[in-house]
Amino acid sequence: MSQTLVDNLKKRFASLLTGCELRYGDEVTIEVSSENIREVCLALRDEPQFEFKQLIDLCGVDYLTYGDTEWATESASSSGFSRGRVKGKDPRHAWQKERFAVVYHLISYSKNERVRIRSFVAEDFPVIASVMDIWQVADWFEREAFDLYGIIFEGHPDLRRILTDYGFIGHPLRKDFPLTGEVEMRYDEEKTRVVYEPVSIDLRVLVPKVIRDDNRYLERATEEESNG
Q: Is residue 32 part of a domain?
A: yes
* CATH code, domain carrying 20: 3.30.460.80
Parent domain of 56: 1-62+100-164
More confident residue, 79 or 25: 25
pLDDT in tens, 160-194: 999 988 778 899 999 998 888 888 888 999 999 98
Domain count for the chain: 1
What average pLDDT does the structure give for the chain? 84
Tell me how far CA of residue 140 lies from CA of 27, 144, 152, 162, 169, in angstroms: 25, 6, 13, 8, 20
pLDDT in tens, 114-137: 999 999 999 999 999 999 999 999
CA distance 102 to 163: 18
Q: Is residue 207 part of a domain?
A: no
pLDDT in tens, 142-163: 999 999 999 999 999 999 999 9
120 burial via Cβ count (<10 Å: 0-12, 13-18, 19+)? buried
pLDDT in tens, 77-89: 444 444 444 556 6
The pTM of the full predicted model, rounded to 2 decimals, is 0.77
